[in-house]
Every structure is written in structure tokens, then in C-alpha cells.
Amino acid sequence: MSEAATNRLDPIKWGVVAVLVVAGVVGNSYYADQSLLYRVLALIATAAVAGWVASTTERGGAFWQLIKGSRTEIRKVVWPTRQETTQTTMIVVVFVFIMALILWGIDSLLGWLVAMVIG
């Protein structure tokens, strides 16, 4: 199938995805008296089919490529060691404590000055 024909079918495919999602929601409500296991399995199957149909569209294919690219980028991340994480956390805790003392001092000073002015 050509690229133009595929692009023209995209709205129909998205319509099928929407129908599948609505069918899953309505079916789950309609069969509320059935076992939860069966309803969950049916919803998973419906979601899988809807996801497959969506992935065959142009936007769905681009989204899938984005997911694959993201996984590649996550593998390139250099995660900090346990020691680096502990040291950074301690620096943050100490900084927050010092800032709390400074703000407490400023608040006390300003409170004392206002009490002197008000009387």
C-alpha cells in the first residue's frame, strides 16, 4: 500500500481505535456481574488490539519510534553511585537546615522590630 493511501486510512484507523476503547469501557460496565479476571483479560485484549491498530497509523508509528529512542537514551544515562547520592543528599539537608536557621533569625528579628514599633 502506498504512503498516500496509508495516510488516507489513518482517520478510519483512529475511528476503529475509538470504537474499541468505547467497546471496552461499555463492555466492562455491561458485564459487571462477570468475574473480574475475565473482564480484565478482555480489556487487556481490547487494549492490545487498539494499540496495534493505532501503531499502524503515521502518528502511532512516530510515537513508537519516540518510545524506542527514549529507551536508547535512558541506556546512555550515567547514574550516580550510592556514595555520590548520599553526599549530595547530605549537602542538601545541611543547606536546608542553614537556610531554615537564617530565615528563623530574620523572622525573629523582624518580629522583635515590629513589636518595638507597635509597642
Q: What is the pLDDT of residues 77-107, one digit of tens each?
A: 998 999 999 999 999 999 999 999 999 999 9
In whole numbers, what is the pLDDT of the chain averaged over residues? 92
Instruction: Return the pLDDT at 39.
Output: 93
Instruction: Return the pLDDT at 9.
Output: 87
pTM to 2 decimals?
A: 0.56
Instruction: Return the pLDDT at 6.
Output: 64
Domain residue ranges of the chain, discontinuous segments joined by +: 1-77, 79-119
For residue 79, give the DSSP letter.
P
Least Cα distance to 39 among 60, 57, 24 occurs for: 24
Give me the amino acid identity at 8.
Answer: R
Residue ranges, the chain, pLDDT below 70: 1-6
Instruction: Return the pLDDT at 2.
Output: 57
Q: Strands, DSSP E only, in 1-119?
A: none
